[in-house]
Amino acid sequence: MSPPVDIETEEQVRIRLIVNGRKVACDVAPRDTLVDCLRQQLELTGTHAGCEMGACGACLVQLDGAAVHGCLMFAVQADGARIDTIEGLSESGVIADLQAEFHRRNALQCGFCTPGMLITAHELLTHVARPSRETIRDALSGNFCRCTGYEAIVDAIAAVAAARAATASQGAEGSSP
Partner 1 sequence: MKARAFSYFRAHTIGEALEAHAGAGDDVRFIAGGQSLVPALALRLQAPRILIDINHIAELRGITRDGEWLRIGALTRHCEMLTDPLIAEFAPLLRAAAPFVAHPAIRNRGTFGGSVALADPASEFPAMVLALDAEIEIAGASGRRRVKADDFFTDLFETAIAPGEILVAVHVPLFQAGQRIAFDELARRRGDYALVGCGLLATCQGDLIERIGISFFSVGDVPTRARHAETALTGNRIDAARIAAAQAALDADLAPADSDDVPAAMRLHLARVLLGRLLGRIGEAA
Is 77 an interacting residue with respect to partner 1 (CB under 8 A)?
yes
Stretch that binds partner 1, among 2-10, 99-107, 147-155, 166-174 (CB under 8 A): 2-10
Stretch that binds partner 1, among 17-25, 26-34, 96-104, 147-155 (CB under 8 A): 26-34
**Residue 145 makes contact with partner 1 by CB under 8 A:** no
120 binds partner 1 (CB under 8 A): yes
Q: How far is the CB of 136 from partner 1 (least distance, A)?
A: 11
On whether the CB atoms of residues 37 and 28 are closer than 8 A, the answer is yes
Q: Show the 3-state SS of the chain.
A: CCCCCCCCCCCCEEEEEEECCEEEEEEECCCCEHHHHHHHHCCCCCCCCCCCCCCCCCCEEEECCEEEECCCCEHHHHCCCEEECHHHHHHHCCCHHHHHHHHHCCCCCCCCCHHHHHHHHHHHHHHCCCCCHHHHHHHHHHCCCCCCCHHHHHHHHHHHHHHHHHHHHHHHHHHCC
Does position 151 interact with partner 1 (CB under 8 A)? The reply is no
Q: Per-residue contact track with partner 1, 80 to 119, x per CB under 8 A?
A: ----------------------------------------
Interface residues toward partner 1, by CB under 8 A: 4, 6, 8-11, 13, 29-31, 33, 52-54, 57, 60, 63, 66-69, 71-74, 76-77, 79, 120, 123-124, 137-139, 141-143
